Amino acid sequence: MSLWTAEAIAAATGGAASAGFAVSGVAFDSREVGAGDLFVALSGEATDGHRFLDQAYAQGAAGALVSQAEERSHVRVADTFAALEDLGRAARARTAARIVGITGSVGKTSAKEALYACLERGWRGAVHRSVKSYNNHTGVPLSLARMPAEVRAGVFEMGMNHPGELAHLTTLVRPHVALITAIAPAHTEFFPDESAIADAKGEIFQGLEPGGVAIVPFDSPHRDRLIAAARPHAERIVTFGLDKAADVHALEMMRVAAGTYVTARLGGRELSFTLSQPGLHWVSNALGVLAAVDAVGGDLGLAGLALADLGGLAGRGARFTVAAGEGQATVIDESYNANPASMRATLAVLAQEPGRHLAVLGEMRELGEGSAGYHAGLAEPVRAAKVETAILVGEAMRPLAEALAAQVDIVHVPDASTALDTLRATIAPGDVVLVKGSNGVGLSRLVAALRGG
């Protein structure tokens, strides 16, 4: 079945179709175009998607959304970005699916993937989600435009780094359920304080559909602020967390070989399950996910099974082994991104691992004037994790290097390539290596090189 016909695209966007055609997917990155896709030729400051039309058609695009003259099958509009948003709105309008929007300073992609797995377990083939971290002003409408009309549920991640961004994105997604995972220092370069970050995240509730449910982290110091933001828009507010006063909370947690065994209470019900991911931050995420499953009418028992089977996500906790001398070492891949809260959480996971602990830690970006303090503040978690050697990457890591001097073996390097060389010269059999840093540091390339041998 087609996702969109040329006629439907033209009706949604106010454009003019060159001919009849149908598409089975939507992409705005020409490198991701597959057979039968609609290629959206976005025009930006850095490049113009119209330059890649030949490549898109060569890779099998069935049509394109363009704002310039084009001879091949297309829908022509005045503005391709506005048209992409319109296509996303049309996709949202035509479905009867239950929609969940997820945001937070940390954990939103992991929570999105976990919620998708939980719902997919019960509604096979009938759950849609945003892929990768397509959570910004272009990623969200693209993810909506990709949603088939017949799905039973849609799960959408929404991110921001400035006030007002979520207020707009949530009007596109129009969630029935809005979940905030956690509030933490992130993008502080653009906010005066953490309360302002909480306010910006709370904008997600403004798009709730009538009868909507707001899911709020109980353990957050900004809980009451988030509840106040949700109250005008939500029919029901559900809290989750490790504290027993939360609506959804953990009664019991026990570390097991497969992860964490959790007994959770949801109102008057209890659910016991094994969470395949270690760490208290993952327990908290799972409780929020279960609250969302319950809110959309999913099967909690099947959700528990899905959480047990949930594998580590690339860049967000995936584990693999590499050759080290005459044996092997374990790598924990947290290379996708970092802020002070997620650094502390993953260092706490490392602390529980057997073996010698190494850490490749990349600088945390977009922290503004407080950057030096945030980096130096990681000294205690690094020590608590019993890190024997810390390879610190980037100039912003200098305050941490100074704070750890004479306490931990420190190697401060300028880039990921040098960090890789240092790690290869240091790693030994039985080691456990945590790799984490802001995405721009490029530690994902270090991880890829390790995986490739």
71 and 100 part of one domain = no
- For the residues of 223-244, what is the DSSP string, one character each? HHHHHHHHTTT-SEEEEEESST
Contact 315, 444 (CB under 8 A): yes
DSSP-derived secondary structure letter, 412: E
Check residue 115 and give its pLDDT. 98
Say what the pLDDT of residue 188 is: 62
**51: containing domain:** 4-84
Task: Express each pLDDT in 238-251 by its tens digit.
Answer: 999 999 999 999 99
Indicate if 174 and 286 belong to the same structural domain.
Answer: yes
Residue 254 lies inside a defined structural domain of this protein = yes
Q: What pTM, to 2 d.p., does this model score?
A: 0.84
Query: Would the pLDDT of 133 be above 80?
Result: no
Q: Which residue has the tokens 């959770």?
A: 264
Q: Which residue has the higher pLDDT, 203 or 339?
A: 203
Q: 164 and 39 in one domain? A: no
Q: How many domains are contained in the chain?
A: 3
**CATH number of 383's domain:** 3.90.190.20
Give a yes or no: residue 35 inside a domain: yes
State the Cα–Cα distance between residues 38 and 348, nearest whole angstrom: 44
Residue 90 forms part of a structural domain: no
User: What does the pLDDT read at residue 77?
Assistant: 98
Asked if the structure places residue 125 within a domain, the reply is: yes
Residues in the chain: 453
Asked if residue 43 belongs to a known ligand binding site, the reply is no
pLDDT at 145: 98
83: left (phi > 0), else alpha (psi -120 to 50), else beta? alpha
CATH number, domain of 66, equals 3.40.1390.10
Q: Is 24 annotated as a binding residue?
A: no
Rg of the chain on CA atoms, in Å: 23
104 known ligand binder? yes
**Range with the poorest average pLDDT among 45-49, 95-99, 304-308:** 45-49
Task: Please tell me whether residues 159 and 216 are part of one structural domain.
Answer: yes
Kindly report, residue by residue over 158-192, the tens digit of the pLDDT: 998 889 999 999 999 999 999 999 998 765 677 88
Residues 365 and 337 in one domain: yes
What is the reported pLDDT for 274?
93
- The residue from 247, 278, 309 where one domain ends is 309
User: Do residues 241 and 147 share a domain?
Assistant: yes
Tell me, yes or no, whether 169 and 20 share the same domain: no
| Structure tokens that stand for 202 in this block | 């709370």
366 and 437 co-located in one domain: yes
Q: Are residues 171 and 257 in the same domain?
A: yes
Is residue 88 over pLDDT 90? Answer: yes
- State yes or no: 80 annotated in a binding site: no
Average pLDDT over residues 259-270: 93
Residue 65 lies in a domain: yes
CA distance 165 to 305: 35
| Last-in-domain residue among 282, 309, 336 | 309
Q: Do 396 and 268 sit in the same domain of this protein?
A: no
Q: Is 107 annotated as a binding residue?
A: yes
What is the reported pLDDT for 1?
66
HEC per residue, 182-225: CCCCCCHHHCCCHHHHHHHHHHHHHHCCCCCEEEEECCCCCHHH
Q: Tell me if 141 is assigned to some domain.
A: yes
Does residue 444 sit within a domain?
yes
Domain end position, chosen among 84, 117, 145 = 84
When pLDDT is averaged across residues 254-273 and rounded to a whole number, the result is 90
**56 with 125, same domain?**
no
Percent of the chain with pLDDT over 70: 98
CATH code of the domain in which 226 resides: 3.40.1190.10
Residue 110, annotated ligand binder? yes
In the predicted model, what is the mean pLDDT of the chain?
94
- pLDDT number for residue 91: 98
Annotated ligand binding at 362? The verdict is no
**Do both 128 and 21 map to the same domain?**
no
What is residue 248's predicted lDDT score, i.e. its pLDDT?
A: 98
89 occurs within a structural domain: no
**From CA 294, how far away is CA 314, in angstroms rounded?**
27
